[in-house]
Chains A and B, each alone.
Chain A
Amino acid sequence: MSDSGKRYAMTMDPRQCVGCNACVLACKAENNLPEHGFRDWIVTETRGSFPHLSQEIRSERCNHCSTAPCVSACPTGASHVNEGGTVLVSREKCTGCKACIAACPYDARYVHPEGFVDKCTFCLHRVREGKDPACVEVCPTTALAFGDLNDPESPVSRLLRQRKHRVLKPETGLKPNLFILED
């Protein structure tokens, strides 16, 4: 196994994100996604009423949960855990039954027009070549970082040491690996 104890994770800094969608489009181009297929997306949350407002903008994607419900929901073994804890779908094993879509609390998956379920791969094909995922590489605001949590010198390990952070939907207890940085 090429896996040598890596645990991949991503951090997302809403302070820096402007919600421009560069991450979404770079992902679409890198992974040659179909027109209506998205592996990442922008969430804008505005609170308060005029003129007392606050806002958080996030770039979201599959959380690559350490206890991934999509994997256990998959009847064919198509959804699986791969290198560094990355949750992937094997296209040839996927029947498009959507059990994983129902199981995912983050709504991270969609059905590809060719019949299989598709989702974020952390761009493992790039990561294996030592590159960042396409969304991280393109981000003009440096709001995204990627790396190995088991490597204390990785960008994500550093950021998680330096900054307060949270995860999305912690109540599900799924140990997600997308961390939202806070002030």
Chain B
Amino acid sequence: MSQVTRREFIKIGGAGAGVLAVGSGLGTHWWGLDEGQVPDPGTDGDHVVPTFCELCFWKCGILAHVKDGKVTKITGNPDHPLSRGRLCPRGTGGVGQLYDPDRLKQPLVRVSKRGGDRFEAVSWDTALNRVAEGMLAVRKKYGPEALGLFSHGYGGSWLKHLVKAYGSNNIAAPSYAQCRGPREVGYQLTFGQGVGSPETVDIENARCITLIGSHLGENMHNTQVQDMARAIAKGAQLVVVDPRFSTAAGKARYWLPIKPGTDIALLLAWMHVIVTEKRYDSAYIEKHAKGFAELEKHVQDKTPEWAYPITGIKPELIRESARFISSFKPASLIHPGRRTTWYGDDTQRARSMAILTALLGAWGRKGGYIQPGSMSVPAFPYTQYAYKPKEPADRPKSLYPLADETLASGLCDATIPGKAPYPLHGWLVYGTNLLQSLPNPKQTIAAIQKLDLMVVIDVLPVEVAGWADVVLPESTYLERCDELWAPSYKEPFIAVRQEVVKPMYDTKPGWWIARELGLRLGLKDYFPWKDSEEYVMARVKAAGLECETLKKTGVVKGKVVPVCEEEGLQLAFDTPSKKIELYSDALKALGFHPMPEYTPVEEPPAGMFRLLFGRAPAHTFGRTTNNRFLSTVFPENEVWINTKAARALPGFENRPLKTGDRVVLVNQDGVRSRPVRVKVTERIRGDAVYLYHGFGHSAKGLKHAYGRGASDSELITRYKTDPIMGGTGMNVNFVRVEPAPATASSKQVA
């Protein structure tokens, strides 16, 4: 039977009008073709709510489909400039966060000693009273600035407002000193402004995109990845400098597998080639820049031959790639990267990239860096804040003179007595798992043990929640209305986050928590609105916009302004000299190198690898690793190790390491990771290993993520602080690879 049908089918299918023939009534009868029967999975919502995403901090516009009161799926909002109807994998995965069975479901108060991780469920009234009493006691005993707020995520705006009204400005996010801070300062010093978020890069129109350790494509900031793909489709070339053959490296014309920590040497050698061969934009430099003569002298001896033994990149490849990059100027984009806290000299690396950008004439130019506008929305007319400017706790005296945001690591340090002019005695921790986001978790725990008050506000029972006195369960982004968002972007817009479904369990949105605490703290005047929607709509009205339109579309677009010289933009630089500063007097005056210098990094000891880490496309740190939906495509991390290096590993002589085997990583201070699978690969240098960040959870309440993979954070017991702005360089840890104990078991992942 099967033989006959197959032959018959091929005969029909092979005919010119085969498809039509199959679609005939005869075909229907023979082949079981159910005419017109196309099962609809029925996931379209009975209504659709436009809002914006919080699976990462890019904040793409989404459409949440709701059917019978449940969110069935999330798609991109075609009208939103950051998503354009398309989403990254995480964006589709909000449902996995909303319906995560492990969510914090009610307020909790600690009943064991701190860190004992034993809690009792209480009412919101009890929990909030406890927090308010603690905050009042801290203020009475030490002054309001002894309270610090760690906050990451858009819902944190309400708590920032609360803490400022209470009287403290010790408010920090790990996204600065642990992430993009050095980059902001390096570009600020050079061009008079940082690159912000969304970064002011014109990837879409670039003809050459150079990534220095940035792994765009694995780092899935949606619009940037969209733009990179659009640029590639238009013929743009990639140059990728990375010890690992990243996804982007796989698309690059040049991949430079650089020795970790030596990027500044490569950048200086590139500048040497571009300057000595006069491949820079001389008219642009003459018009806009200051310090070219000094730069020319500075890079004179930074030849490719000089850089070769440092970087491992052959001189001819350095020359060729420098010529290649400069051949596309000014539409030659040196991408600024995002997490730039690597080796403690990171501001200087950012400076090198900024100076190279200037040589290419790419700042303020199409296909380089642009100057987008934003829509103006008047601030809510709040009562002026109570806090008085006081020496910041995070960087006493002249430490880190150019930090322009509060350092999360600095607030943590300031909690240990003797490290700051005044110690912190209370922490509010909103949406950031400090035990994975700050380096050296043991030090963070030591600081927590000094506190009088420790409060965690989160969606999930992450590690840091286990150390709290009070845990307040927040509603997810799909269950709340947050602050408006109107960033600088080439298509300026205002977006609104709306409640898609009512809060589940006994959770509350951040605005409600902040307001209730404010009322208990006697700060009623700072909360003259009944809910966040009233607040948001007051701002929308003040901006002269229609509330109903914004609610219906989720986004309103503004007027596009010229963003580059080609469109008529007049370039201006907010530096002391009002020019691009190739040579920085500001750095010189503070005792730093006025132009970037390469300083050697510590080498891995024999038998050890440098630990590098980065992002997986389906995850945002540890925030999403418990998300069962996203986990279906990326359940746990692996440690990448070079094939040859794996063969040479001591301890594995009798059973050569192969992909899927389980090992333990042991760092220079003897800290051991959880067992983690190995990926033996050609895609990485032999002197480094690589982990995707955010795995290896030890919090038992994260029932899905617990014990899956290894945590890079636990192994980052050392860091090197950037003396310019206080960033914590975290790529300075070394690990050796040991076989996992035979008894080590972990979840079987299907």
Contact = CB atoms under 8 A, between A and B. Distances in A.
The majority secondary structure among interface residues of chain B is mixed
Interface residues of A, number: 73
A140 B686 CA distance: 33
A2 B2 CA distance: 28
Interface in A29-76: 29-32, 35-36, 38, 42, 46, 48-51, 53-57, 66-69, 71-76
A72 B9 contact: yes
Nearest to A149: B19
B6 A50 contact: no
Nearest to B5: A72
A53 B20 contact: no
B9 to A, nearest CB: 5
A86 B417 CA distance: 70
Contacts of A128: 38
B218 interface: yes
Contacts of A7: 19
A67 B13 CA distance: 6
Given A20-B88, A140-B220, A46 B23 contact: no
Interface stretch (B104-112, B167-175, B224-232, B284-292): B224-232
B225 A18 contact: yes
Contacts of A154: none
Contact of A25 (B228, B257, B633): B633
Given A31-B43, A66-B13, A137-B85, A83 B38 contact: yes
A18 B30 CA distance: 42
B453 to A, nearest CB: 40
A15 interface: yes
Contacts of B10: 67, 72
A46 B220 contact: no
A20 B634 CA distance: 10
A173 to B, nearest CB: 9
B32 A5 contact: no
B95 interface: yes
A93 B33 CA distance: 11
A80 interface: yes
Interface string A121-146: 10011001000001001111111000
A141 B617 contact: no
Nearest to B226: A140
B525 interface: no
A85 B69 CA distance: 37
B632 interface: yes
Contacts of B230: 142
A139 to B, nearest CB: 6
Interface in A68-112: 68-69, 71-85, 88, 90-91, 93, 99
Given A20-B618, A22-B87, A68 B9 contact: yes
Contacts of A6: 19
Contacts of A32: 41-43, 72
Contacts, number: 220
B43 to A, nearest CB: 5
A141 B72 CA distance: 24
A170 to B, nearest CB: 16
B251 A15 contact: yes
A165 interface: no
Nearest to A3: B23
A30 B43 contact: yes
A18 B1 contact: no
A80 B43 contact: no
Interface in B225-259: 225-226, 228-230, 232-233, 245, 247-251, 255, 257
Given A22-B89, A53-B255, A28 B629 contact: yes
Contacts of B95: 29
Contact of B92 (A22, A69, A78, A91): A22
B443 interface: no
Contacts of A138: 75-76, 86-87, 92
B473 interface: no
A24 interface: yes
Contacts of B27: 81
B183 to A, nearest CB: 22
B22 A18 contact: no
Interface residues of B, number: 84
B88 to A, nearest CB: 6
Nearest to A8: B19
A67 B220 contact: no
Interface string B625-653: 00011101110000000111000000000
A30 B88 contact: no
B225 A15 contact: no
B9 A71 contact: yes
A138 B76 CA distance: 7
Contacts of B18: 66
B257 A51 contact: yes
A91 B86 contact: no
Nearest to B31: A80
B476 interface: no
Nearest to B87: A138
B33 A81 contact: yes
A16 B229 contact: yes
A115 to B, nearest CB: 15
Contact of A53 (B23, B72, B682): B682
Contacts of A168: none
B2 A21 contact: no
B6 A49 contact: no
> Most B CB atoms within 10 A — which of A66, A76, A175?
A66
A21 B617 contact: yes
A57 B35 CA distance: 36
B704 to A, nearest CB: 11
A19 B230 CA distance: 16
Interface string B71-109: 011111000000001111101110100000000000000
Nearest to B13: A67
Nearest to B686: A50
A31 B44 CA distance: 10
Nearest to A56: B250
A93 B685 CA distance: 53
Interface string B3-17: 001101110011001
Contacts of B24: 1
Contacts of A38: 632
Given A16-B233, A53-B683, A137-B76, 18 more contacts: A1-B24, A1-B28, A15-B251, A24-B89, A25-B89, A30-B41, A31-B43, A51-B245, A51-B257, A53-B255, A69-B6, A77-B33, A82-B33, A84-B19, A125-B38, A139-B86, A140-B86, A142-B230
Interface of B: 1-2, 5-6, 8-10, 13-14, 17-20, 22-25, 27-28, 30-43, 72-76, 85-89, 91-93, 95, 217-218, 220, 222, 225-226, 228-230, 232-233, 245, 247-251, 255, 257, 617-618, 628-630, 632-634, 642-644, 681-686, 750
17 contacts: A18-B248, A20-B88, A21-B634, A25-B632, A31-B43, A53-B250, A53-B255, A54-B250, A55-B245, A55-B249, A55-B251, A57-B250, A67-B10, A81-B23, A85-B19, A90-B37, A140-B225
Interface of A: 1-3, 5-7, 13, 15-16, 18-22, 24-26, 28-32, 35-36, 38, 42, 46, 48-51, 53-57, 66-69, 71-85, 88, 90-91, 93, 99, 121, 124-125, 128, 134, 137-143, 175
Ordered nearest first, which 4 A-B pairs have the shortest CB separation?
A: A77-B32, A55-B250, A141-B229, A72-B6
